[in-house]
């Protein structure tokens, strides 16, 4: 049976409390904290980060499919999943697909991946959901929308949880929506939406699941019920017979509502705490609702706990509303435009800048990142071996530029010696410039570099390694 092999959560480095919004607008903005993506992040780069966490030490060679779910994909016409697959360096014959337009696209991707694996068409599929939705400044929605990504690996080999039942309903009327020419989300009357949209659809989907599998509330160890406001799920749970201790925390006060990724993030948190044979209800909402019955297997004991607490350890707070607006490119213009780009140039530099490949000399074994015909170390002209470069290294030297167009000057450019060999020049991000030093450990992170030619140019940047320190 197809099931969940592993999962990974990614939350950006920044957070903003409701106090900042209250100070900006002079009215209450909630007690929680929402996660905010950096100015060089989008739903695609966060999907890469979550997928890398999900794959961990499994390697990318086993992956033969990748599904990307988002309501905020950078490209409206161009497959975003193919860019993610390239950054992950998947095999060229991996099947890629975008799933979008609804908050339910995250659970849609989970179901489609499960069906594909169950049919025998593919062996291991990464399904990743990521969102960075924007609310109009000062609007009701602004305090509640967070950013982040969650990835699940679906396959047949020793799953930590099996998907055993599923039921879905759809709804064609709008609740929260954004037309193609809209920059910000729109919403209906909140009170009406909670009952006629959210409440009705979630009840229909879960009751349908109960009927299909002959379940009742007492059968489940945990009820993971998506909530658009952090409260309405309790009404659904109570009406279905769940006790309060069975209901999973919505995480809203810790992260904000992370769009299509939020339900999957709640599921990941429930799996962190699950024990063998625990039965989990997972219900997701958006233009209808999806309901799953998921049972933890004996392999859940090998699961590394703490997917969400781990990424919350090192978080920087945004204390200025103006800074938040610059991150969203709503004040000023820090989106670097450059004419010095082209599709042929991207193709020529794809192996290093996107796939992160280098060359290894067959004679002396040195690893290089320059396209050379003669090894500069041993002067051999023999063929070079193509290898994947490490995503961790240490700073050899660096410089800082105060006049580069960015919401966070100065920009640090660092020369990095990668673990296992190879040296690259990379821009730093998510790191206080005053903390940068020689021999500092850094991790590579996939980010937006600039725009030009009408398309987004992505590349690998670097940031202080988790835990900091020097090598």
Q: Tens digits of per-residue pLDDT, 374-429?
A: 999 899 988 899 999 999 999 999 999 998 888 889 999 999 999 999 999 999 99
pTM: predicted TM-score of the whole model, two decimal places: 0.95
Q: What are the start-end ranges of the E strands in 263-321?
A: 279-285, 288-296, 316-317
Whole-number percent of the chain with pLDDT over 90: 77
Tokens 């961990």, located at residue: 56
Domain locations in the chain? Answer: 3-327, 343-464
Q: Report residue 471's pLDDT band, with 50, 70 and 90 as the boundaries.
A: very low
What's the burial of 155, exposed, middle or buried (CB within 10 Å: 0-12/13-18/19+)?
A: buried
Give the ranges where 241-283 is alpha helix by DSSP (H).
252-255, 262-273
- In this structure, whether the domain defined by 3-327 belongs to CATH 3.40.47.10 is answered with yes
CA distance 308 to 8: 9
Does residue 222 surpass a pLDDT of 90?
yes
CA distance 108 to 170: 12
Q: Kindly report the CATH number that applies to the domain delimited by 343-464.
A: 2.40.50.840
Return the axis-axis angle of helices 200-213 and 232-240, rounded to nearest 10°. Answer: 30
Q: What are the start-end ranges of the E strands in 13-91?
A: 14-17, 33-36, 65-70
3-327 and 343-464 share one CATH topology? no
Count other C-beta atoms under 10 Å from residue 66's C-beta. 27
CA dihedral 255, 333, 137, 308 (to 10 degrees): 0
CA distance 173 to 150: 27
Among residues 234, 201, 218, which one has the least CA distance to residue 279?
218
Beta bridge partners of residue 455, listed in sequence order = 452
What's the confidence (pLDDT) of residue 88?
Answer: 97
Count other C-beta atoms under 10 Å from residue 68's C-beta. 31
pLDDT in tens, 88-137: 999 999 999 999 999 999 999 999 999 999 999 999 999 999 999 999 99
pLDDT in tens, 319-378: 999 999 999 988 876 665 555 678 888 888 899 999 999 999 998 999 999 888 899 989
What are the distances in angstroms from CA 22 to CA 18, 147, 255, 329, 467?
A: 6, 20, 17, 21, 32
Length of the chain: 471
Beta bridge partners of residue 426, listed in sequence order = 414
**Beta strand 14-17 with 316-317: parallel, antiparallel or unpaired?**
parallel
CA distance 233 to 247: 9
Residues 6 or more apart in contact with residue 395 via CB below 8 angstroms: 414, 415, 416, 436, 437, 438, 439, 440, 442
3-state secondary structure string across 152-186: EEEECCCCCEEEEEEEEEECCCCCEECCCCCCCCE
Sheet-wide strand order for 95-100: 95-100, 65-70, 125-132, 147-155, 3-10, 161-170, 288-296, 279-285, 222-225
CA distance 133 to 111: 23
Half-sphere exposure in the Cβ direction for 178 (13 Å, CA) = 20
Q: Report residue 313's pLDDT band, with 50, 70 and 90 as the boundaries.
A: low
């Amino acid at each position: 049976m197809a099931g969940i092999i592993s999962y990974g959560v990614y939350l950006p480095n920044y957070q903003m409390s409701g106090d900042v919004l209250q100070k900006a607008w002079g009215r209450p903005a909630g007690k929680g904290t929402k996660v905010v993506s950096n100015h060089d992040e989008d739903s695609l780069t966060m999907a890469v980060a979550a997928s890398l966490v999900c794959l961990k030490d499994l390697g990318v060679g086993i992956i033969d499919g990748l599904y990307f779910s988002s309501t905020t994909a950078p490209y409206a016409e161009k497959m975003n999943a193919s860019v993610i697959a390239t950054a992950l360096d998947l095999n060229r014959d991996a099947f890629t697909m975008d799933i979008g337009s609804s908050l339910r696209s995250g659970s849609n991707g989970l179901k489609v991946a499960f069906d594909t694996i169950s049919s025998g068409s593919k062996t291991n599929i990464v399904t990743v959901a990521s969102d960075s939705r924007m609310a109009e400044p000062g609007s009701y929605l602004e305090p509640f929308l967070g950013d982040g990504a969650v990835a699940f690996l679906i396959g047949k080999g020793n799953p930590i949880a099996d998907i055993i039942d599923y039921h879905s309903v759809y709804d064609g009327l709008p609740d929260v929506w954004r037309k193609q020419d809209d920059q910000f989300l729109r919403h209906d009357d909140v009170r009406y939406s909670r009952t006629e949209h959210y409440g009705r659809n979630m009840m229909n989907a879960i009751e349908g699941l109960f009927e299909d599998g002959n379940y009742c509330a007492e059968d489940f160890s945990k009820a993971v019920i998506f909530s658009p406001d952090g409260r309405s799920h309790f009404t659904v749970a109570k009406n279905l017979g769940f006790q309060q201790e069975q209901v999973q925390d919505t995480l809203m006060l810790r992260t904000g509502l992370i769009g299509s990724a939020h339900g999957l993030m709640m599921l990941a948190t429930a799996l962190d705490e699950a024990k063998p044979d625990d039965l989990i209800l997972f219900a997701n909402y958006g233009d209808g609702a999806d309901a799953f019955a998921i049972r933890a297997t004996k392999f859940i004991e090998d699961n590394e706990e703490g997917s969400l607490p781990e990424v919350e350890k090192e978080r920087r707070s945004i204390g200025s509303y103006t800074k938040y607006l610059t991150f969203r490119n709503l004040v000023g213009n820090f989106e670097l435009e450059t004419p010095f780009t082209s599709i042929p140039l991207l193709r020529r530099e794809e192996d290093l800048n996107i796939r992160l490949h280098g060359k290894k000399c067959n004679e002396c074994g040195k690893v290089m990142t320059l396209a050379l015909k003669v090894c500069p170390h041993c002067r051999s002209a023999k063929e070079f071996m193509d290898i994947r470069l490490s995503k961790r290294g240490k700073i050899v030297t660096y410089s800082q530029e105060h006049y580069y167009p960015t919401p966070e000057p100065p920009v640090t450019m660092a020369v990095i010696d990668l673990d296992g060999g190879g040296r690259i020049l990379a821009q730093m991000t998510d790191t206080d410039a005053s903390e940068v030093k020689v021999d500092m450990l850094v991790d590579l992170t996939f980010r937006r570099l600039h725009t030009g030619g009408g398309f987004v140019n992505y590349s690998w940047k670097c940031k202080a390694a988790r835990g900091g320190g020097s090598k």
